Amino acid sequence: MEKDIDAFLHYLAEEKGCSQNTVAAYRNDLGQLLSFIQAERAKGIVRSTEGLLKSYLLSLREKRYSTATVARKVASAKSLFKFMVDSGRLRENPTQNLISPQVHKRPPKLVSSSEYQLLLAEPAKLSTPEAKRDRVMLELLYATGLRVSELVSLNVKDVDFQHSCVCCSGRRIPFDHHIAQLVADFVKGGRFDLLYDEGEETLFLNRRGKGLTRQGFWQIVRNYARKAGFGAKITPNALRHSFAVHKLQTGADLQSVQQLLGHAYISSTRIYKQV
């Protein structure tokens, strides 16, 4: 089964173009499932895979994981075994009768156009290299819906200025001419104020000339939101959510938004239709 998991993770990364975070989440969940099955089989009790999976679900509930966490781990198991059946590694799917707990998701927090403009006004008040970088990052995030980990991991070469899009985790996410010009001006100008090593390829640099961290950018957005009077309401995730909702409101279908966001499951995208 360990080889099957490795093959599945490779399929997610290479064929489906899932992000590193998504693949890592699957690896963690499936690693836990594998450890449970190996421990149960070591006891010498003969049970079917279906029986083992039901015991696994029970053990998750006994450990008092949240409903959302249990649902995610069950979904990971179902995806693995579906892959094994589809690829001919298994004849029947043992998860077909495995019931996943129902998760009632709250509507995502959004950022209105006026709130977004007030947020942008904060770095615009400053003339530092970091403030110029921050404005470009906020605009690019709002225009593409990238995950923060994807945004801070971008290299200069990942931006296709000719076709006005950014290439990330196997996805090509388009943006308008304004964003293309903004990023191009930053690459030609503002980025050099933070650059120490000409061999550095990361697009957004910190004051030491290295790539920003995910936590660092979250703190940057939090600080600007507080200065703009929004407290903790505006987060990078809220900007990503707003991108998704705007796409649906302007006529994009659910599948195309799923691809733009890099969601492994369309159920993750469907929540935006509630807004």
List, for residues 69-107, the tens digit of each pLDDT value.
Answer: 888 888 899 999 999 999 999 898 988 888 877 766 677
Q: How many helices (H) and strands (E) does the chain have?
A: 12, 3
Identity of residue 56: Y
Band of pLDDT at residue 265, cut at 50, 70 and 90? confident
Higher pLDDT, 268 or 161: 161
Sheet with 159-160, edge to edge strand ranges = 159-160, 165-168, 171-174
Sign of CA dihedral 118, 257, 109, 76: negative
Query: 69 has which bridge partners?
Result: none
Residue type, 238: A
Whole-model pTM: value is: 0.70
d(CA 170, CA 16): 8
Question: What domains, with CATH codes, occur in the chain?
Answer: 2-86 (1.10.150), 113-274 (1.10.443.10)
The full DSSP string for 77-139 is HHHHHHHHHHTTS-SS-TTTTPPPPP--PPPPP---HHHHHHHHHHHHT--SHHHHHHHHHHH
Q: How far is 96 from 81, CA to CA, in rounded Å?
A: 9
pLDDT in tens, 110-141: 999 999 999 999 999 999 999 999 999 999 99
What gap in Å lies between CA 218 and CA 121, rounded to an integer?
18
Please check whether residue 201 is in contact with residue 211, taking contact to mean a CB–CB distance below 8 angstroms. Answer: no
Whether the per-residue pLDDT at 63 is higher than 80: the answer is yes
- Helices 49-62 and 20-42 meet at what angle, rounded to 10? 110
Rounded-to-10 torsion of CA 259, 132, 218, 146: 0
Residue 51's pLDDT is what? 87
pLDDT per residue as tens digits for the range 41-61: 888 877 788 888 889 888 988
> If we measure between CA atoms, which residue out of 229, 190, 235 comes closest to residue 217?
235
